[in-house]
Structure 1
Amino acid sequence: MQASSPRMQLGQLPTGLLDALASRSLPSRPIASRLSRGIPSQRRDITVNQLDTSSDQRERVVILGSGWAGYTVARQLNPKKYQAVVVSPRSYFAFTPLLASTSVGTLEFRTALEPVRSRRSNVNYFQGWADVVDFKNKKVTVEESADNSTQGFALSGSRAETQPEVRKAEQAKKGKTFDLAWDKLIITVGCYSQTFGTPGVKEHALFLKDVGDARKIRNRILLCFETAALSTTTDAMRKNLLNFAIVGGGPTGIEFSAELHDIIKEDLARIYPELMEFYKITVYDVAEKVLPMFDEDLGKYAMKVFAREGIAIKTSHHVESLRKGPPGDSNTAKDVQDEYPCWTLRVREEGDIGVGMVVWSTGLMINPFAKKALGKIPSIPESGVKYLTPGSELSRGSLQWAVSKEPKTGAVITDDRLRVLLGPDGDHESKQRAIMEDVFALGDCAKIENTTYPATAQVASQKAEWLAKRLNKGDFDKGGFTWKNMGVMAYIGNWNAIMQGGGGGSVSGRAAWVLWRGAYLTKSVSWRNKVLIPIYWFLNWAFGRDISRF
């Protein structure tokens, strides 16, 4: 049987109407003409040559990364003045405050995503990693990455940002590369999770940095309960499988612990009532207290709520390793260990502990791209460099310049206009300094000189909004960026939250929970998600979370 034609599949619509619809669906102007007029065009076969043709004398702004900083600045640049091009292995922006909710089914994954490409967007996009930055010729080498099967570890726009073991596996299938010229470069490549070199963590722990991570956590929770419910599973193994460990007592770790408690108490307890005596949730932190960014009273309130709900918080505890298999002989052969569905977490203060899942949330490690591609500068640009110290310009040819880095973290140092600072490479005695006026760095991978702003989404988005406004108006001389503290908040379970305002006021309990949900709803970018989020909140409250594994 022959396949039905598209016209037959549309049903009994009149032929004239179908022809009219077909004619309206086809672009009436070439793609280059549509781009030059600022009309969104999301053709996936856009080439660099087509971008050049459609620039219409606009400056090209290449943005490395699609996180809080990169996505925000790309959306807010004036499309009549700038041609914004985002380079990232991730074709979407992840609204990270909602990841804990998506990991347990309180919200669906779609509600935490905003696509870089959309019909209403004026942003061009290449899916790939930035490998090399040529500051002199104003070009960046991009490696194509349309196959995103391993991008769960990727945070933004550089190949170096994936976890080391993933990068090593990908070397054999490295994609094609191409050069992309820029007039202005904005570096927002972010960070990835800090593991402190703890053995087994990269291989066996779960993180919560992206939607792919949330999906893995959700499947793991359900797998643990399904396996524990089998008649062949012993009680000892059930205790291991249903022992959930969260390493890190910051907002992410605390919120995930609270969300995990909610799905167990509100949904899984009704489906697996016989397993409730076995489950346990424990938060481990090396510090003396959790939630250090909150006032002491709010921290104590959170711990009191956790204690009442049965969530254990163990501070001043040091995780030493994580390996496959139950507690016992650590020398068990790997093929035997793999038969067991649990892991062993070794804590210095407690010894070996059987766990079904470890969620690691202990802070950030700077993106290796900052070291790999943002280091020595073989040849300093002829223009676009402002020298800050006497004699700097005379040292152009004789001095080896490098991007300035924060010694402790490796973050790129910028001035208060978010422009990248240059200095002598290594231990050179010279004190010469300069600014690259067309290269900006913001987000978690960058730090303004002589500031201690936290590495949060709030700071990254404020920097992005400030930079986009300054670029649109061209008034960088009106003063530098200053962070406005809008406060911090955290969900602590059972419809309770804590919130500390930027001015010092605080709210806790049910009122803070209402403010917490309201803030995240209003901060969602698209109207699509502003509608979807409350719908899913209501559906899951009324009918329970979906516990299907998919």
Structure 2
Amino acid sequence: MSNAQLDEGRDNRERVVILGSGWAGYTLARQLDSKKFQAVVVSPRSHFSFTPLLASTSVGTLEFRTALEPIRSRRTNVEFYQGWADGVDFANKKVTIEESVVDPLQSMALTGDRHAGQTAEERVESKQRAAKKGRLFDLAYDKLVISVGCYSQTFGTPGVKEHAYFLKDVGDARKIRNRLLSCFEAAALPTIPDAIKKNLLNFAIVGGGPTGIEFAAELHDLIAEDLDRMYPELIPFHKISVYDVSAKVLPMFDESLTKYATEAFRREGITIKTSHHVEGLKPGAPGNSPDSHADYACYTLNVKEEGEVGVGMCVWSTGLMQNPFVANALRELPELPQAAKQSETESGQKAAPSQPWKVKMDSKSGSILTDERLQIKLISDKQETVLQDVYALGDCGILEGTSYPATAQVASQKAVWLAKRLNKNDLETSSFSFSNLGTMAYLGNWKALFQGGQGSQISGWAAWVMWRGAYLTKSVSIRNKILIPIYWVINWLFGRDISRF
């Protein structure tokens, strides 16, 4: 479809182009009034991932489909283009899109720039080739919402990008599930010595936040409830370890809840190793070459405090890094867009269009800074202004002067607030504020933690009931609200499906 055809297909509604299909982008697209706005989602994946359930899908407690919501649906009036946002022309209100229908990276965690290693000239040539092949097109907008999310942070640790497993999308969960079962099947072979079995069944989780802790808990449940019966001879060899560079895990929880979690893991045989620094990950067992036949399925985790540790799988969950699109495509503006020319600086003076401007970024995280109405800020020398009709939500945007966590709860609340304001056309009458509804984490064996926004605390079985109830009610579609409890009951009665595919 040509750019002219895209423009000709527009109706009288305002076109809201939403970059990203995560918690912010997907929620906003569904909440906008379809009579007033033409919501257009641009994302390299054609679905929304319900991230709290990914750990459950990675071990077979739930099936992958229960953590997915399609962007295209008979129940919503949302347009969709599967592609990567490649550039933004604020002056002419256009976004350049590179199609990604056959991109192998979709549904997988990203750890760096897709075009890393290319020079500026090579990147220009690559874009020209994509345009000639019809893989690059411009999309006009009336309002633009940047909610591209963040990438997985590896801190440049050698071998992590190539050999670690991440848990940010359904493709990652599928990859983990296959690897996990491969480790047990390989260890069950009569030709594998005990030393290699210990390596294969040693599972390392790097990162003591909710994602890492919940995956460790779900993995423990799988082994204790199902694999213990199927591979009884292998259970003595297995080990689950959580590594974190901080002095404690789950830092967002109160000290008493953190201690409860640590003690619960100790009783279940899960080792928590705080103040540990992972320095590298490579294929092969410790001390052997990567292509040795005996250790073909192992990895070596290099830990500063322990040395080389043989593992069957390393799941990496250490935080977020800024999306390269934000740094590369949004930073410099050749001129001040018309939408910002009427805005005033903090001193009350009109913004000068002729001087160089750039999107204001947070110095620490590199995220886009917004005003209290979620509009992105522009800066030039000592002047500052706001770019109207362009918003930043989710992990890639920070409301200046606040320290809201980069969580799904914050992203979805921003999206709901913005949708309401746009639907009512009263954006200028109020400002966004975050309402903390609490934080939860699953600990395994029907135990969980809950810390309310006002300081209330619940732990154990009661918190587990709240944990499951909250995620069930927050699931978007009626289909998944039905499927999720059905799979819970089926797996409780008959056990998890451990087939590989």
Q: TM-score range by the shorter chain?
A: over 0.9
Partner AA of 2:155 in structure 1: F
The equivalent residue for 2:85 is 130
The equivalent residue for 2:440 is 489
2:429 is the alignment partner of 1:478: yes
**3-state SS in 2 of match to 1:245:** strand
2:29 is the alignment partner of 1:74: yes
Quick one: structure 1 residues 79 and 60, their matched pair in 2 at CA, closer, same or farther if it must change by over 3 Å? same
2:352 is the alignment partner of 1:395: yes
> Aligned partners of 1:47, 1:308: CA distance in 2, in Å?
62
Partner AA of 2:345 in structure 1: L
1:283 to 221, 242, 246: 242
**3-state SS in 2 of match to 1:421:** strand
Length-normalised TM-score, structure 2: 0.94
2:147 is the alignment partner of 1:196: no
2:328 is the alignment partner of 1:372: yes
Give the CA RMSD over aligned residues. Answer: 2.3
> Aligned partners of 1:82, 1:200: CA distance in 2, in Å?
46
Quick one: structure 1 residues 84 and 288, their matched pair in 2 at CA, closer, same or farther if it must change by over 3 Å? same
The equivalent residue for 1:16 is none
CA offset at residue 478 of structure 1? 2.1
Quick one: structure 1 residues 379 and 104, their matched pair in 2 at CA, closer, same or farther if it must change by over 3 Å? same
- Choose 540-549 or 468-477, whichever is displaced more: 468-477
Say whether the 8 Å CA contact 2:285–2:295 is kept in structure 1. no
CA offset at residue 269 of structure 1? 0.6
What does residue range 516-535 of structure 1 map to in structure 2 within 5 Å?
A: 516-535=467-486
1:111 to 66, 69, 93: 66
2:216 is the alignment partner of 1:265: no
> Aligned partners of 1:328, 1:408: CA distance in 2, in Å?
39
The equivalent residue for 1:420 is 376
The equivalent residue for 2:363 is 407
Quick one: structure 1 residues 338 and 525, their matched pair in 2 at CA, closer, same or farther if it must change by over 3 Å? farther
Quick one: structure 1 residues 366 and 302, their matched pair in 2 at CA, closer, same or farther if it must change by over 3 Å? same
CA offset at residue 383 of structure 1? 3.3
What's the CA shift string for 1:393-440, capped at 9, x where partnerless? 46311x21000000111000000100000002xxxxx31001001100
**3-state SS in 1 of match to 2:137:** strand
CA offset at residue 337 of structure 1? 8.0
Quick one: structure 1 residues 205 and 392, their matched pair in 2 at CA, closer, same or farther if it must change by over 3 Å? farther
The equivalent residue for 1:207 is 166
- Choose 381-390 or 117-126, whichever is displaced more: 381-390
- Choose 527-536 or 387-396, whichever is displaced more: 387-396
Say whether the 8 Å CA contact 1:153–1:162 is kept in structure 2. no
Quick one: structure 1 residues 105 and 490, their matched pair in 2 at CA, closer, same or farther if it must change by over 3 Å? same
> Aligned partners of 1:542, 1:384: CA distance in 2, in Å?
60
The equivalent residue for 1:243 is 202
> Aligned partners of 1:124, 1:47: CA distance in 2, in Å?
16
CA offset at residue 380 of structure 1? 1.5
Partner AA of 2:51 in structure 1: T
CA offset at residue 58 of structure 1? 0.9
CA offset at residue 457 of structure 1? 0.2
CA offset at residue 150 of structure 1? 2.3
> Aligned partners of 2:15, 2:115: CA distance in 1, in Å?
30
> Aligned partners of 2:34, 2:5: CA distance in 1, in Å?
16
CA offset at residue 165 of structure 1? 8.5
The alignment of Structure 1 onto Structure 2 pairs a total of residues equal to 493
Say whether the 8 Å CA contact 1:206–1:359 is kept in structure 2. yes
2:471 is the alignment partner of 1:512: no
> Aligned partners of 1:491, 1:109: CA distance in 2, in Å?
19
Larger Rg: 1
> Aligned partners of 2:6, 2:36: CA distance in 1, in Å?
14
Quick one: structure 1 residues 455 and 83, their matched pair in 2 at CA, closer, same or farther if it must change by over 3 Å? same
> Aligned partners of 2:384, 2:187: CA distance in 1, in Å?
61
The equivalent residue for 1:442 is 393
The equivalent residue for 1:314 is 273
- Choose 473-482 or 63-72, whichever is displaced more: 473-482
**3-state SS in 1 of match to 2:18:** strand
**3-state SS in 1 of match to 2:11:** coil
**3-state SS in 1 of match to 2:261:** helix
> Aligned partners of 1:539, 1:277: CA distance in 2, in Å?
28
2:75 to 120, 143, 158: 120
Partner AA of 2:365 in structure 1: T
Quick one: structure 1 residues 163 and 53, their matched pair in 2 at CA, closer, same or farther if it must change by over 3 Å? closer
The equivalent residue for 1:31 is none
CA offset at residue 388 of structure 1? 1.7
Partner AA of 1:513 in structure 2: W
- Choose 385-394 or 278-287, whichever is displaced more: 385-394
The equivalent residue for 2:42 is 87
What's the CA shift string for 1:149-184, capped at 9, x where partnerless? 3213367xxx98659589999x69956101100010
The equivalent residue for 1:219 is 178
> Aligned partners of 2:351, 2:397: CA distance in 1, in Å?
28
Say whether the 8 Å CA contact 1:77–1:471 is kept in structure 2. yes
Quick one: structure 1 residues 72 and 532, their matched pair in 2 at CA, closer, same or farther if it must change by over 3 Å? same
* Percent identical: 64
2:415 is the alignment partner of 1:464: yes
The equivalent residue for 2:191 is 232
Partner AA of 2:252 in structure 1: M
The equivalent residue for 1:549 is 500
* Alignment gaps of 5+ in structure 1: 1-45, 425-429
Say whether the 8 Å CA contact 2:196–2:295 is kept in structure 1. no
Partner AA of 1:388 in structure 2: T
> Aligned partners of 1:89, 1:480: CA distance in 2, in Å?
31
> Aligned partners of 1:154, 1:143: CA distance in 2, in Å?
19
> Aligned partners of 2:428, 2:188: CA distance in 1, in Å?
65
Say whether the 8 Å CA contact 2:96–2:136 is kept in structure 1. yes
**3-state SS in 1 of match to 2:197:** helix
**3-state SS in 1 of match to 2:233:** helix
* Alignment gaps of 5+ in structure 2: none
2:49 is the alignment partner of 1:98: no
**3-state SS in 2 of match to 1:420:** strand
What's the CA shift string for 1:104-158, capped at 9, x where partnerless? 0000000000000011110000001111100000001111111133213367xxx
Quick one: structure 1 residues 218 and 388, their matched pair in 2 at CA, closer, same or farther if it must change by over 3 Å? same
Deviation >6 Å, runs of 4+: 165-169
Say whether the 8 Å CA contact 1:154–1:161 is kept in structure 2. no
1:65 to 7, 14, 20: 20
- Choose 306-315 or 52-61, whichever is displaced more: 52-61
**3-state SS in 2 of match to 1:283:** strand
> Aligned partners of 1:364, 1:243: CA distance in 2, in Å?
26
The equivalent residue for 2:489 is 538
What does residue range 50-61 of structure 1 map to in structure 2 within 5 Å?
A: 52-61=7-16
CA offset at residue 102 of structure 1? 0.3
What's the CA shift string for 1:202-260, capped at 9, x where partnerless? 00000000000000000011000000000000000000000000000000000000000
> Aligned partners of 1:319, 1:262: CA distance in 2, in Å?
26
**3-state SS in 2 of match to 1:395:** coil
> Aligned partners of 2:391, 2:294: CA distance in 1, in Å?
47
CA offset at residue 477 of structure 1? 2.2
